[in-house]
């Protein structure tokens, strides 16, 4: 199978001991591309090095994660945007969005950073990768104002309800990123997806986080993508190979790979 992990933090220190082995295991499982969302200024060097060392396998994005947003974010964003003009081939603006799970102190700054980075996406003609945690309403408020025919992207690690899924899809250019959560017994995501066409989905791990069953609670990695495809196969009643074909094409189209 030809599979794509559309969201992995493979540059994370949690992979420092065996990063190449992880990549080789993933390739052996048919996961041929691994897309790398940025977090903040400290993650850029490792991400770009990884992309340089594994061309046509690892692809970098550029963005500021909402949990990294604070009162100094405007200066940080200026620095991050400079990388777009330094001949780096980013495939998306991400990971961006709003996170109100841990802390609501910088909600205003998170919204501002989100809007700035959406404008980057329009300027550089790239999709956005949205992190939404306890923040669907706030994110929808921004997109209701800023969405247009040129804006595309993915709600990464989607775990919302059917109403939220339909709202995402109503914008026209967005996919749902489906990861290990769909394999959790009590997530309810499988019931949501029964009402959503497979044409709207792409696969991801968010590794090293959110490992699918039976590895839940352990370090996640891209080689587990077939477990997500297996679960989707049972939901949609089609083969894992067909799941792979459809979701891979969705990802290739979205990220223009």
Res 125: pLDDT: 96
Helix (H) or strand (E) holding 253: helix 240-255
**What does the block give as tokens for 207?**
């590794």
Q: What is the DSSP string of 211-227?
A: PPTTSTTS---GGGHHH
Task: State the average pLDDT over residues 26-39.
Answer: 98
Report whether pLDDT(129) > 80: yes
Instruction: Check if the beta carbon of residue 47 is closer than 8 Å to that of residue 244.
Output: no
pLDDT digits (tens, 9 = 90+) for 96-125: 999 999 889 999 999 999 999 999 999 999
Instruction: Check if the beta carbon of residue 203 is closer than 8 Å to that of residue 233.
Output: no
Res 88: pLDDT: 81
Helix (H) or strand (E) holding 94: strand 93-99
Instruction: Check if the beta carbon of residue 99 is closer than 8 Å to that of residue 68.
Output: no
Res 150: pLDDT: 94
Average pLDDT over the chain, rounded to whole? Answer: 97
**What does the block give as tokens for 151?**
């804006």
**What does the block give as tokens for 101?**
């799970």
Task: State the average pLDDT over residues 25-50.
Answer: 98
pLDDT digits (tens, 9 = 90+) for 154-192: 999 999 999 999 999 999 999 999 999 999 999 999 999
Task: State the average pLDDT over residues 65-88.
Answer: 93
Instruction: Check if the beta carbon of residue 230 is closer than 8 Å to that of residue 213.
Output: no
Report whether pLDDT(86) > 90: no
Report whether pLDDT(87) > 80: no
Q: Which domains are seen in the chain, by residue range? A: 3-255 (3.20.20.140)
Res 102: pLDDT: 87
Cα separations (Å) of 245 from 100, 122, 136, 234, 250? 35, 29, 29, 16, 9
Which runs of E-coded beta strand occur in 115-194? 128-133, 153-155, 174-178
Res 1: pLDDT: 87
Task: State the average pLDDT over residues 7-36.
Answer: 98
Question: What is the percentage of the chain residues whose pLDDT exceeds 90?
Answer: 97
pLDDT band of 231, cuts 50, 70, 90:
very high
Predicted TM-score (pTM) of this structure? 0.97
For 27, counting Cβ atoms within 10 Å of its Cβ (0-12 exposed, 13-18 middle, 19+ buried), the class is middle
pLDDT digits (tens, 9 = 90+) for 182-192: 999 999 999 99
pLDDT band of 209, cuts 50, 70, 90:
very high
């Amino acid at each position: 199978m030809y599979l794509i992990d559309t969201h992995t933090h493979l540059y994370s220190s949690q992979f420092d001991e065996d990063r190449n082995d992880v990549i080789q295991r993933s390739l052996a499982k048919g996961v041929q591309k691994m897309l790398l969302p940025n977090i903040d200024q400290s993650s850029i060097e490792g991400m770009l090095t990884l992309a340089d060392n594994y061309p046509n396998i690892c692809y970098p994005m550029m963005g500021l994660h909402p949990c990294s947003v604070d009162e100094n974010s405007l200066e940080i964003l200026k620095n991050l945007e400079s990388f777009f003009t330094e001949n780096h081939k980013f495939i998306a603006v991400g990971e961006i969005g709003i996170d109100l799970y841990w802390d609501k102190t910088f909600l205003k700054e998170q919204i501002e950073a989100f809007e700035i980075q959406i404008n980057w996406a329009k300027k550089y003609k790239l999709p956005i990768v949205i992190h939404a945690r306890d923040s669907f309403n706030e994110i929808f408020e921004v997109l209701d104002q800023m969405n247009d025919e040129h804006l595309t992207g993915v709600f990464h690690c989607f775990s919302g309800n059917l109403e939220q899924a339909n709202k995402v899809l109503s914008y026209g250019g967005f996919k749902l990123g489906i990861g290990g959560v769909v394999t959790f017994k009590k997530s309810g995501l499988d019931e949501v997806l029964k009402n959503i066409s497979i044409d709207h989905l792409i696969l991801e791990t968010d590794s090293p986080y959110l490992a699918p069953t039976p590895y839940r609670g352990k370090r996640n990695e891209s080689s587990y993508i077939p477990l997500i495809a297996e679960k989707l196969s049972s939901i949609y009643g089609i083969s894992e190979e067909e799941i792979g074909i459809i979701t891979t094409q969705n990802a290739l189209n979205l990220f223009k790979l």
